[in-house]
């Protein structure tokens, strides 16, 4: 069984969610983590994740939605990418790291074009670990995350023939540092044709791709990836 550690299930039409989940189960997807992106979808993420015990939520704000957020929105979290605003992004990152420390929670981090900034703040604010989502930094940066208690998320981007750097990371990093994700409906894998929707069910094939990349049995790979995910996000177990 596979775990999708990053799926925006709330971006799917309400009418299609049951069908999406049914397809996921047929493809051996046992758990799905749904991250929020901004104040507007907190309630929707909570509502959807409450519909099934295989669904878990991760509450937080994505850097692309920072301009929709004010200080008051940060306190809502405790109750239940633009380059021109990088200072504001870092400000809200620090707020969320402090909140994670207060509640002893792991974090899921969006690190695109900001790996060093994120690492700098993780060294200052020692959260209990988490996941660097859609990781594509350097091997040196990868090990810095690992040393800070983080797993690294890999998904559909890894499956493209030209994605040699991401494939190298996925092949060479310690297997216990890796988790898988679809980021659906975004980040489609290589085999989806234009117009086809990325869904959690694709994680099984992504996992098989990783197993082949590393020369491992897919069933053993699924168990290892699940253990990694439960280890870093223990509340979903």
Q: What would the mean pLDDT of 5-25 be, rounded to a whole number?
A: 95
pLDDT of residue 194: 82
Domains and CATH numbers, the chain: 2-236 (3.20.20.140)
User: In the predicted model, what is the mean pLDDT of the chain?
Assistant: 91
30, HSE (Cβ side, Cα atoms, 13 Å): 12
pTM for this model (two decimals)? 0.90
Tokens 């309630």: give the residue. Answer: 43
Q: How confident is the model at residue 211 (pLDDT cuts 50, 70, 90)?
A: very high
What is the DSSP-derived secondary structure letter of residue 227?
H
Continuous H helices in 103-217: 115-124, 139-147, 164-172, 203-214
Please state the φ and ψ torsions of residue 53, each to the nearest 5 degrees.
-75, 0
Those residues with Cβ within 8 angstroms of residue 160's Cβ, 6 or more apart along the chain or in another chain: 190
pLDDT above 70 coverage of the chain, percent: 90
Token output for 134: 């859609």
* pLDDT value of residue 81: 44
Alpha carbon distance 111, 117 (integer Å) = 9
Residue 94 and residue 81: Cα distance in Å, rounded?
Answer: 17
At 26-71, the pLDDT tens digits run 999 999 999 998 777 888 999 999 999 999 999 987 665 555 556 5
Q: Report pLDDT for 129.
A: 97
Report the alpha-carbon distance of residue 206 to residue 189 in Å, rounded: 8
- pLDDT given for residue 112 in this prediction: 85
């Amino acid at each position: 069984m596979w775990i999708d550690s990053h799926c925006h299930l709330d971006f799917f039409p309400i009418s299609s969610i049951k069908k999406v989940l049914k397809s996921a189960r047929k493809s051996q997807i046992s758990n799905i983590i749904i991250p929020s992106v901004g104040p507007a979808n907190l309630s929707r993420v909570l509502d959807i994740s409450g519909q099934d015990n295989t669904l878990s939520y991760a509450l937080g704000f994505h850097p692309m939605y920072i301009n929709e957020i004010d200080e008051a929105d940060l306190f809502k979290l405790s109750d239940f990418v633009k380059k021109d605003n990088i200072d504001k992004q870092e400000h809200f990152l620090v707020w969320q790291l402090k909140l994670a420390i207060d509640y002893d929670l792991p974090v899921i981090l969006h690190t695109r074009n900001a790996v060093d900034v994120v690492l700098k703040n993780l060294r200052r604010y020692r959260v209990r670990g988490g996941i660097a989502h859609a990781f594509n930094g350097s091997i040196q940066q990868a090990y810095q995350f690992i040393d800070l208690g983080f797993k690294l998320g890999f998904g559909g981007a890894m499956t493209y023939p030209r994605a040699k750097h991401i494939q190298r990371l996925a092949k060479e990093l310690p297997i216990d540092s890796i988790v898988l994700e679809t980021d659906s409906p975004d980040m489609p894998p290589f085999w989806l044709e234009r117009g086809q929707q990325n869904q959690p069910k694709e994680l099984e094939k992504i996992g098989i791709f990783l197993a082949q990349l590393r020369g491992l049995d897919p069933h053993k790979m699924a168990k290892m990836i699940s253990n990694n995910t439960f280890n870093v996000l223990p509340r979903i177990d």
